[in-house]
Copies of this chain bind each other. A is one copy, B any other.
């Protein structure tokens, strides 16, 4: 297989698109901005979803399902939220087609089947869910409600890219209801922690935890917690957000409860979500010029065994014995018995697909009681004694997971730059890339101007940022801590 993808250094954006295509992850569809998630891409999403779902359930959440459509009158009830999403809404106006009288075999909208009220295809579900919660909540005994939903949502974005920004995407959205502000904030922070743990422990993608400036908050939130990752081109990716919604939705939908002193109060809310966008982050954190690189914990195939030069009963028998032993440890293994392709072609294919460990087994190996082990992350090859191959591979998968995280963390750490003035700020953003830690005067006006001049936005105010006196890099006004800027996806 010839080198089929553009090199990162040559054209990063094309490199990304090439990997999405050549690794069989996704492709564009006939619907503008909507992608087809192909089986291999979807298998990665299944691994992510199953792990996240477990983490949500371990923290007391249950799943439910709410309608795809939001009546316009509900959609507009929480004004900030509505304003934030109004410009990118797919709207259903009719519920029937009929034969086109002028065009045999063609269909047209039946004008008599116009809906009395338009339906918005959910861009997010706060409105439909809080309208439902009103009937579920009377007393503090009904709280908290800890619900998550796995669903598709639609945001009619003008510029789309597979996984990173698509008109339809898959996600989960948690929507919780609480009796006190403290409980709601605690929940929002807990899910923020869950997202950070998932990103780092499973995706091997280091993240910076922080909260958003007012202008970058979710529309309708009082506070937005975010995890921000760094891609290899020096741009940031917002990978997951958890929102403290205050009583905004409770007020918009009149959701009150009787507290333990028998007084009526508005309910406190959170929402939190991650999406198929994470797959984009996964690709851009680890992959290289030979294709996708996957952390073992999220790889649909963790180990592939390739008989060399081709399948043969003796080789296949040994391969199956190894595969069975690995599977019994919960490791996913594929034996490639395709006789129509040569080993070199297969090697390149599994590299493209990011399979973490490849085992090559030939007749000479059998005679020597060895097997060739290739790791995808470093491309190193080792000859390993067959007697210890199973524990060796088990350990190697852990090492690869760890190495990917360390490597990404080193890169990220090298790309967090402290600057003291706007010249240096612009220089780093323009030339070095990555995150910039700089003082900011806290005003949206300064934030806007910095964005206008550099395209960098405030990614977050890091949660662990120490108090530190200084002066805003842009306005020179006093500031008491640094915030994190970057250009972002």
Binding site for B on A (CB under 8 A): 27, 29-31, 34-39, 41-43, 45-46, 62-72, 74-76, 79, 82, 86-99, 105-107, 109, 118-121, 128, 131-132, 135, 141, 147, 151-152, 154, 156, 168, 170, 340
Please tell me which one of the listed residues B43, B76, B132, B168 contacts residue A107 in the complex, with CB atoms under 8 A apart: B76
Q: In the bound complex, how far is the Cα of B154 from the Cα of A68, in angstroms?
A: 9
> What are 16 A-B residue pairs whose CB atoms fall within 8 Å in the complex?
A29-B128, A30-B67, A30-B132, A36-B64, A37-B66, A39-B62, A39-B63, A69-B168, A76-B105, A76-B106, A76-B107, A79-B105, A87-B97, A90-B95, A91-B97, A152-B152
Q: In the bound complex, how far is the Cα of B128 from the Cα of A389, in angstroms?
A: 45
**A64 / chain B contacts, CB cutoff of 8 Å:** 36-39, 41-42
Give the 4 A-B residue pairs with the shortest CB-CB distance, closest first.
A34-B67, A37-B65, A39-B62, A86-B97
Query: Once the chains bind, are A46 and B34 in contact (CB under 8 Å)?
Result: no
**A340 / chain B contacts, CB cutoff of 8 Å:** 141
| Nearest Cβ on chain B to A186's Cβ, whole angstroms | 21
Query: Once the chains bind, are B92 and A92 in contact (CB under 8 Å)?
Result: yes
**A99 / chain B contacts, CB cutoff of 8 Å:** 86
**A79 / chain B contacts, CB cutoff of 8 Å:** 105
Q: In the bound complex, how far is the Cα of B97 from the Cα of A86, in angstroms?
A: 5
Query: Once the chains bind, are B95 and A65 in contact (CB under 8 Å)?
Result: no
Given the known A-B contacts A29-B128, A72-B107, are A43 and B67 also in contact in the complex, defined by CB atoms under 8 Å?
Answer: no
| Nearest Cβ on chain B to A166's Cβ, whole angstroms | 9
Q: In the bound complex, how far is the Cα of B92 from the Cα of A93, in angstroms?
A: 6
Q: In the bound complex, how far is the Cα of B96 from the Cα of A156, in angstroms?
A: 8
Query: Once the chains bind, are B107 and A66 in contact (CB under 8 Å)?
Result: no
Given the known A-B contacts A29-B128, A63-B42, A132-B29, are A152 and B68 also in contact in the complex, defined by CB atoms under 8 Å?
Answer: yes
Please tell me which one of the listed residues B41, B88, B135, B168 contacts residue A68 in the complex, with CB atoms under 8 A apart: B168
Given the known A-B contacts A96-B86, A156-B95, are A46 and B63 also in contact in the complex, defined by CB atoms under 8 Å?
Answer: yes
Query: Once the chains bind, are A91 and B94 in contact (CB under 8 Å)?
Result: yes
Given the known A-B contacts A42-B63, A90-B92, are A69 and B109 also in contact in the complex, defined by CB atoms under 8 Å?
Answer: no
What residue of chain B has the Cβ atom nearest to residue A166's Cβ? B67
| Nearest Cβ on chain B to A351's Cβ, whole angstroms | 21
Q: In the bound complex, how far is the Cα of B94 from the Cα of A156, in angstroms?
A: 10
| Nearest Cβ on chain B to A464's Cβ, whole angstroms | 35
Query: Once the chains bind, are A31 and B107 in contact (CB under 8 Å)?
Result: no
Please tell me which one of the listed residues B69, B89, B105 contacts residue A34 in the complex, with CB atoms under 8 A apart: B69
Known contacts A42-B64, A121-B121; 7 further A-B pairs (Cβ under 8 A): A41-B64, A43-B62, A68-B121, A72-B97, A87-B96, A87-B97, A109-B118
**A128 / chain B contacts, CB cutoff of 8 Å:** 29-31
**A156 / chain B contacts, CB cutoff of 8 Å:** 95-96
Query: Once the chains bind, are A65 and B86 in contact (CB under 8 Å)?
Result: no
Q: In the bound complex, how far is the Cα of B85 from the Cα of A96, in angstroms?
A: 9
What residue of chain B has the Cβ atom nearest to residue A76's Cβ? B107
What residue of chain B has the Cβ atom nearest to residue A106's Cβ? B76
Query: Once the chains bind, are B71 and A30 in contact (CB under 8 Å)?
Result: yes
Query: Once the chains bind, are B97 and A89 in contact (CB under 8 Å)?
Result: yes
Q: In the bound complex, how far is the Cα of B27 from the Cα of A135, in angstroms?
A: 11
Given the known A-B contacts A42-B63, A90-B119, A95-B88, are A131 and B68 also in contact in the complex, defined by CB atoms under 8 Å?
Answer: no
**A141 / chain B contacts, CB cutoff of 8 Å:** 340
**A93 / chain B contacts, CB cutoff of 8 Å:** 91-94, 109
Q: In the bound complex, how far is the Cα of B91 from the Cα of A69, in angstroms?
A: 12
**A76 / chain B contacts, CB cutoff of 8 Å:** 105-107
